[in-house]
Amino acid sequence: MVKNGRRTIAITSGKGGVGKSSIASNMAYLLGDRSRSTFILDADLSLGNIDIMFGMVPKFNIKHVMDGMRQMDEIVLKGPCGIRIIPATSGVSEFSELNHNERAVLLSSLAALPAHDFLIVDTSAGISSNVLYFNALSEQIFIVVTPDPASITDSYAMIKVLSRRTGRKDFNIIVNMVRQESEALELYKKLVGVTDRFLDVYLDYFGFVPLDQNVNTATRKQRLWAEHFPNCEATRALSKICDRLVSE
């Protein structure tokens, strides 16, 4: 685990396309807005797109650090509200599974990051060894789930594997793309109904983000919705999640 008083939180999911990167990058912005120094690590190493979310074109990325060609401080990008972004490589399939040496370099580079309040780790979807690794190095795991039945089933599978392989029992749930909070709570109860029957885990409902057209509008323009639509429903809901994060 990456320690030294900083909070490392993983944003992960069973199914792809549920809004992890969108939530992670806008969460970083809102934490920055709350004067919390925040790094965001694009941990989708082969298809990373956090830099796209911020409308940036990185010259170097985490692969250059693992190859020993660059130092971490040379690849980190500065985003709005003082966020610092650690970009991933894109489309290099050989890089999709980290070997022992790459993991060691990554871990020591993260441990040597300047002081910060939060490191948000945006993982890829599913249960690859990289995803397990990034969840294992984070203190808190946030599972993003949507009303899509496949997302619910895959979240259960993800929690099962993560608990067995990392020994974790506590998971935070963020429900995305619902019409209103009652729908999010229903979905959460459904998931708890299954995990309570079959697994020895505790799921904490951390909040929800509604389905909001402003999210797509901003994303298409490579803008952060939390920045450009500060009063939209999605931003208001994610702000509540961030308020809870900073109060803990």
Ligand X SMILES: Nc1ncnc2c1ncn2[C@@H]1O[C@H](COP(=O)(O)OP(=O)(O)OP(=O)(O)O)[C@@H](O)[C@H]1O
Contact residues for ligand X (CB under 6 A)? 13, 16-22, 44, 124-125, 176-177, 209, 211-212, 215-216, 219, 234
For residues 7 and 20, which CB has a smaller minimum distance to Mg ion in the complex?
A: 20
For residues 96 and 181, which CB has a smaller minimum distance to Mg ion in the complex?
A: 96
User: Which residues neighbour 217 within 8 Å (Cβ) at sequence distance 6 or greater?
Assistant: 225, 229
d(CA 32, CA 39): 9
Do 133 and 103 meet the contact criterion of CB atoms below 8 Å apart?
A: yes
Q: How far is the CB of 104 from ligand X (least distance, A)?
A: 25
For residues 102 and 122, which CB has a smaller minimum distance to ligand X in the complex?
A: 122
Bridge-based pairing of strands 77-78 and 84-86 is antiparallel
End-to-end CA distance of the chain: 19
For residues 41 and 209, which CB has a smaller minimum distance to ligand X in the complex?
A: 209
140 binds Mg ion (CB under 5 A): no
Contacts to Mg ion from residues 13-42, by CB under 5 A = 20-21
For residues 18 and 41, which CB has a smaller minimum distance to ligand X in the complex?
A: 18
Q: How far is the CB of 220 from ligand X (least distance, A)?
A: 8
Name which of Mg ion, ligand X, none residue 17 binds, using a CB cut-off of 5 to 8 Å depending on partner kind: ligand X
Q: How far is the CB of 24 from ligand X (least distance, A)?
A: 8
Name which of ligand X, Mg ion, none residue 176 binds, using a CB cut-off of 5 to 8 Å depending on partner kind: ligand X
176 binds Mg ion (CB under 5 A): no
Name which of Mg ion, ligand X, none residue 140 binds, using a CB cut-off of 5 to 8 Å depending on partner kind: none
Name which of Mg ion, ligand X, none residue 163 binds, using a CB cut-off of 5 to 8 Å depending on partner kind: none
For residues 18 and 195, which CB has a smaller minimum distance to Mg ion in the complex?
A: 18
Binding site for Mg ion (CB under 5 A): 20-21
